[in-house]
Amino acid sequence: MSLISPACRDALQHWLQHQTALNGAAPNTITAYRSDLVSFLSFMTLHFAAPQGLVALSKIEPADMRAWMASERADGCAARSLARKLSAVKSFYRWLAEREGFEATAVLSTRSPKFQKKLPRPLDVDAAKAVLETVDLQTACDWAAARDVAVVTLLYGCGLRISEALGLKGRDAPLPPVLRITGKGGKERLVPVIGAAREAVERYRAICPHALEADTPLFRGIRGGQLNPRQIQAVMAKTRAQLGLPSSATPHALRHSFATHLLTAGGDLRAIQELLGHASLSTTQAYTAVDTAQLMDVYNRTHPKA
């Protein structure tokens, strides 16, 4: 941050604290925000050949914003990543303009680059069932195999993020019919736990060689520490190779599958939003596009006039 003026450093730090305290931003989000804003402010220092204080920042013109975006693209920044960076810059400027009393239209009116939104890539129902039936074959150790089944069943059966599943503590088991999950940004939600998930966790607990105390991780690595997400990713890689599934069949794809299969079965979009812990309904609405795409694929393959 040596290229950034002390006043800007202080403002950035205050904004990040604001994002944490009032908006509940997760640590990874704060790290990304910091990186994005440091990059932007450093560019403006070099662009104007002088450290940019708060007064100078208030005078940035649309041409300066275009120069920054052109520099990012020239450095290989993809449109999606640039859109994320611009969003962070706008959020910072919106807060700074209100605090310092200046007009931030030049920054806030900057158009985000267009990009093709990636649709979730869920497994079909048969493939998801095959994963649950095959994942225990990837590990020779019986208790570790039972652990892997329990984790994967939570991802698909309850729509948990892998970090949420691995964040469960010994006190959370036996799993109740409804589980309170703390997700991104510290947001809590209630998630129904299907019988298959409760049973899978109990099978794992019955043979786990490590003491699963209240304040310790529920899911353990071979040596007893908290299970690393990479272990579940590796197990999924072996499973999809055995089943001939595409590389998109990841642990997170099981969460996508949970949402898509609920929607296909007639689930309410708002209810699915709550189950997934999405802050915005627009995030959940991506699954309607997946459902429509799948419907059209079936139509094109089976309709006699197609």
Between the two ends of the chain, the Cα-to-Cα distance in Å is: 60
The C-alpha atoms of residue 261 and residue 80 are separated, in whole angstroms, by 27
Q: Is 61 helix (H, G, I), strand (E, B) or coil?
A: coil
47 flagged as catalytic: no
Q: Is 178 helix (H, G, I), strand (E, B) or coil?
A: strand
Find the catalytic residue in 161, 198, 240, 256: 161
Contact 253, 121 (CB under 8 A): yes
Neighbours of 10 (CB within 10 A): 12
The C-alpha atoms of residue 249 and residue 38 are separated, in whole angstroms, by 35
14 flagged as catalytic: no
278 flagged as catalytic: yes
255 flagged as catalytic: yes
Residue in the block written with tokens 């990543």: 81
Closest CA to 151 of 225, 235, 224: 235
240 flagged as catalytic: no
Task: Kindly write down the DSSP assignment for every residue of 127-161, as one continuous string.
Answer: HHHHHHHHGGGG-SSHHHHHHHHHHHHHHHHH---
161 flagged as catalytic: yes
Find the catalytic residue in 80, 90, 184, 189: 184
Counting every residue written for the chain, the total comes to: 306
For residue 246, say if its preceding peptide bond is cis, omega within 30 degrees of 0.
Answer: no
Closest CA to 41 of 76, 78, 16: 16
* Residues labelled catalytic: 161, 184, 252, 255, 278, 287
